[in-house]
Amino acid sequence: MDAETLTLIFFIGGIILMIIETLIPGGVSFFLGFSGLIVGTLRWLGILEDPATSVITWLFTSVALILAMRPVLMKYWGGESSYKLANEDVEAMDQIVDVIEPINADDNSGRVRFQGISWQAKTMEGEIPAGSKAKIRYRDNVTWIVEPVDELEG
């Protein structure tokens, strides 16, 4: 391969990788492209002549830029991030739900509507009639354990 062709490949590849960064953000392809431009410039200046040395320089420069600069840039230009509690049971505790089928302590035949979905429900004691409200206490496998709202507030 001709020396000028390899230099051109580093320049064009670097520019393409930097453009790809605008399509797929993350900071990695930008640094790969930037290091390609650095190596292309070093080859154009005659500092790097051997193709193997050029590739090794590109690899080390890319890794160094990613490790050194990416955390700094992500701190100031990082994407939006939000954290949500992943434990659905904890989020559901104390939620008021509609009882759509009568619930009693003896069997799992009762049902409640929670987040638009019908769920099996059970109460620890007594009975909760259909059409009333109940409060979720916890979940046992796929069955919500509920208590009547009246008893808790009264």
**pLDDT score of 78:** 66
Question: What pLDDT digit, counting tens, does each position of 44-56 carry?
Answer: 999 998 999 999 9
**pLDDT score of 125:** 80
Average pLDDT in the chain: 85
The closest of 153, 130, 134, 132 to 145, measured between CA atoms, is: 134
d(CA 154, CA 152): 6
d(CA 59, CA 4): 20
**pLDDT score of 39:** 95
- Residue found under tokens 């590849």: 13
The angle subtended at Cα 71 by Cα 69 and Cα 77, nearest 5°, is: 95
**pLDDT score of 154:** 40
Tell whether the model's pLDDT for residue 83 goes beyond 80: no
**pLDDT score of 85:** 61
Instruction: Give the class (CATH, top level) of 90-148.
Output: mainly beta
For 16, residues 6+ apart whose C-beta sits below 8 A from its C-beta are 33
Question: What pLDDT digit, counting tens, does each position of 124-142 carry?
Answer: 888 888 888 999 998 888 8
Domain edges within the chain: 3-77, 90-148
Question: What pLDDT digit, counting tens, does each position of 9-45 carry?
Answer: 999 999 999 999 888 877 789 899 999 999 999 999 9
d(CA 40, CA 11): 5
**pLDDT score of 16:** 95
d(CA 132, CA 49): 82
